[in-house]
Amino acid sequence: MSNNGNIVTMRGIERVYYKPDGSVLVNALRRVDLDVPSGQSLAIMGPSGSGKSTLMNILGCLDQPTNGSFTIAGNDVSTLDDASLSLVRGDQIGFVFQSFNLIPQLTIEENVEVPLFYRRIKAAQRKIEATAILDRVGLGDRIGHKPSELSGGQQQRAAIARALVTNPSILLADEPTGNLDSKTGNDILKLFDEMNDEGLTIIVVTHDDVVGKRCDRTIHLCDGLIDKDTQNG
């Protein structure tokens, strides 16, 4: 965490996509300034083409800004090479996607173990940590099952367990309830609330006002700019 209490600090973030001839195709982000205090839950909203996905990819260290500075958990990531970005991503960020992105051939605990495998954690320890986090998200009784044997809500819980098993600083969720019915989606949001209450910073990209209003704060993007920044509650 950086000294100013913000886990994310962005200044003048621009992301320009160019055509092959070097001319500008689109200005996806235009000098975005954003501070996210540690422990906050933040919703990023806006219409298609507003820059939500681009901002999420930069926040998740999946993409680099064209211009501007970006610090996450004290690391200046706007200047890092791919290998260093990958390390920050693995240490600091847990990802949850709308489509779950579980590996169908693996059991849920094997899916949860994947990030630990890349950290070269020994098999016995991986199993202990995966089992503990699956228990934490309410799937302790589903160990040994493959994703196809679970409901959509259970698959999303497994995906959240996989995101949390490395003990990240930030949980980054892209439309996490988009493929779920409203009751199941609400159960997932309750789980997010619990994690946030325990101090985890959660950033959610969503089209859903209900999801947005549950967060501490909502920013609306429009044409690559932060159009509104609202404290909720």
| Helix ranges (DSSP H) in 40-167 | 52-59, 82-92, 108-118, 123-136, 152-164
| 118 confidence band (pLDDT: 50, 70, 90) | confident
| 116-130 average pLDDT score | 92
* pLDDT at 3 > cutoff 80: no
Phi/psi for 3 (5° steps) reads -65, -25
In this predicted model, what pLDDT tens digit does every residue of 49-77 receive, in sequence order? 899 999 999 999 988 899 999 999 888 99
Q: How far apart are CA 205 and CA 220, in angstroms?
A: 10
- Kindly tell me the burial class for residue 64, based on how many C-beta atoms sit within 10 Å of its own C-beta (0-12, 13-18, 19 or more): middle
Task: Enter the pTM of the model.
Answer: 0.91
Q: What angle do CA 222, 224, 169 make, to 5 degrees?
A: 100
pLDDT of residue 4: 55
In this predicted model, what pLDDT tens digit does every residue of 8-36 receive, in sequence order? 999 999 999 998 988 888 899 999 999 99
